[in-house]
Amino acid sequence: MQKPFKYFAIHKETKEIRYFNNMMFKPYNPLGIEYKWTIYIDTRYEAKLRLYNYVTFSKKGIDIPRYKPFKGTEIGKSIPILNF
């Protein structure tokens, strides 16, 4: 099963579809004159991700990888994560 994507963009002229998970994608033309892409957020992403994690990890008896770098620390509670 392929990992789900949270965002997708459709080109207005060619109707090409691009899938991506972060907003580093630049959906506009360099001159900024006219937007060439329309960005959509997949509202079913959380459900798709749960299904993906079940099929890929839970069903095989493997723990779902969870990235929690600040677990068990005061960062984010009393110490701000971004300090400016």
Share of the chain above pLDDT 70, in %: 69
Which band of pLDDT confidence, cut at 50, 70 and 90, is reported for residue 31? Answer: low
Which of 14-28, 39-53, 54-68 is predicted with the least confidence, judged by mean pLDDT? 14-28
Q: Residue 9: is its pLDDT beyond 60?
A: yes
pLDDT in tens, 45-64: 889 988 998 999 888 888 88
- Top pLDDT among 11 and 36 is at 11
pLDDT at 27 over 60: no
Amino acid at 8: F
Overall pTM surpassing 0.85 (yes/no) = no
Domain ranges for the chain: 7-60
The region that residue 61 occupies, defined by phi over 0 for left and psi between -120 and 50 for alpha, beta otherwise, is left
